[in-house]
Structure 1
Amino acid sequence: MSKKLISFLFMIVAATCFRAQNKAEKALELFSEKYPQEKVHLVFNKNSFIAGENLWFKSFVFDGYDISGISTSLFVELYDSNKVQIGKKIIPLINGQGSGNFILPESLKEGIYYVRAYTTWMANFNEDFQAIKPVVIYNPSSPQKLVPNTDSKWTAAAFPESGTFIDGINTKFAVRLQSKGITPSEWSGYVVDAEKPDVKITSFKGFDQNVGAFSITPQTGKKYQLIVTDSKGNKQTIDLPPVADSGIHLKV
């Protein structure tokens, strides 16, 4: 077979693959437009409460980087450490924002509780974007006392919101902190090339005790690491996924 014929066949195969990938990318872009993904961010009026007080909260619902106009209401639920629901509110959303409160029963046992927030639309997608925040509730009358676990270790996880990590494409990562106790109130992170650990590529601060985010444009052949540090100097290093040469990137 001549070199010219081989080159011609190669060009046909390459063009066919390019058209197929183009169609797939357009299909995913259309899916993203038709089915945008919401994320919830919750803010409390303080970090800890006493049984009988009001727990006030403000919510922000995002679609990508913008305030979402998809949902008109938000479900906010309060749970104890055994996943028993203590209360539930349906909060009207105006321009993606809403606020409300829970009146904490005076009979609540002292301990760590959790507030969960989500929209009906979010039930169609991954639960990772629902807001779940721990809250400490004290009760002087409770026989059960909360012993602060200051040595409780936390773990961090990072995942690309598009599901892919492709050479030359700016990718946003979501970062989540988890702990059997209370996650640190202040924490931050930065990304490095594993071969140049002293050079920060990008850095960020946590939005709250549980969630943070950063963006990076990767290069093939490089290994990236995320270093997360709390205010006490505790540190954790996470390997980011390998960088793919090519693929389909769905921007969320």
Structure 2
Amino acid sequence: MIISQVGDNISEQFENIHLHINKTTFLQGERLWFKAYVREQKTGLPSLLTSNLHVALFNKEGEEVKRKLIYIQNGLGQGSFAIDSTMTDTEFTLLAWTNYMLNFKKLTPFSQKIKLVNYDTVSKISSEPTIQISVYPEGGQLIEGAYNNIGILVNNGLSKGLAVNDLTLIDDSGKVIRNNITTNELGMGKAGFMVEAGKSYSLQFDKADFPTISKSLPEAYKIKSV
């Protein structure tokens, strides 16, 4: 949050932080990639106020194990962490915050749980086909009454990305909004659509040899009229 003062009037400018990460389960030797979005909470537009973003990994005991200071320009930034031998726990938390947020208890940092598995564990996991779908709205949230882009990540349940070409976006009435949505060999894809007021949306994957999988999109943010 940033506070600006004009005369005797003080206005609060809240920001939302979102990290779009390549996946949430890793083997040692892999790399966690992320793209950072910092948006104005009121308008949903890229923030022009924040230039530095702290991104760090914490272990189960709450101890910081890695941190980076990411340069934010026009609300965007990016970076990565090596998943190396110094990370011996099986669970970590990825946090992102600005210095301003530390001054206000009601503002919470972006948080995402990260899991590490070893090769022995992977060999014991069932080989039955599974599909996991993750959705990342651009800017961290959907905006009602606007054209929105979403990032999509599809993996096989063992953090290996899958290339698919038959994801379908539907609304809560079952109407098809987009079909034949694709992801690349890393399991990453993108889709854009107009979010209507009062509507909810989900992604569906329906293919032979796999159960039908549905992933609900987050509720859209309603912009208050001035």
| TM-score, L = length of structure 1 | 0.47
The change in CA–CA distance for 1:185 and 1:113 in structure 2 (over 3 A counts) is farther
Residues of 2 paired with 1:157 and 1:56: CA distance? 17
Letter in 1 for 2:68: I
User: What do the CA deviations read for 1:128-163 (whole angstroms, capped 9, x no partner)?
Assistant: xx2526454436xxxx73433455685879999468
1:39 aligns with 2:18: yes
User: What do the CA deviations read for 1:41-95 (whole angstroms, capped 9, x no partner)?
Assistant: 2348xx7433xx474645433324647651413222154xx56657131323252
Letter in 1 for 2:125: P
Letter in 1 for 2:196: P
| Equivalent residues, number | 193
Aligned with 2:204 (options 228, 239, 245)? 228
Gaps of 5+ in 1: 1-30
Task: State the secondary structure of the residue aligned to 2:21.
Answer: strand
The change in CA–CA distance for 1:117 and 1:41 in structure 2 (over 3 A counts) is farther
Identity across the alignment (%): 10
Aligned with 1:77 (options 47, 54, 57)? 57
Q: Which residue of 2 aligns with 1:249?
A: 223
Task: State the secondary structure of the residue aligned to 1:97.
Answer: strand
Alignment of 1:206-225 (within 5 A): 215-218=193-196
The structure with more radius of gyration: 1
1:191 aligns with 2:170: yes
How far residue 35 of structure 1 moved from its aligned partner, in angstroms, is: 1.9
Q: Which residue of 1 aligns with 2:125?
A: 148
Task: State the secondary structure of the residue aligned to 1:145.
Answer: helix
Residues of 2 paired with 1:71 and 1:242: CA distance? 28
Aligned with 1:200 (options 166, 176, 187)? 176
Gaps of 5+ in 2: 1-10
Letter in 2 for 1:201: I
Residues of 2 paired with 1:84 and 1:235: CA distance? 38
1:118 aligns with 2:92: no
How far residue 118 of structure 1 moved from its aligned partner, in angstroms, is: 0.8
1:99 aligns with 2:109: no
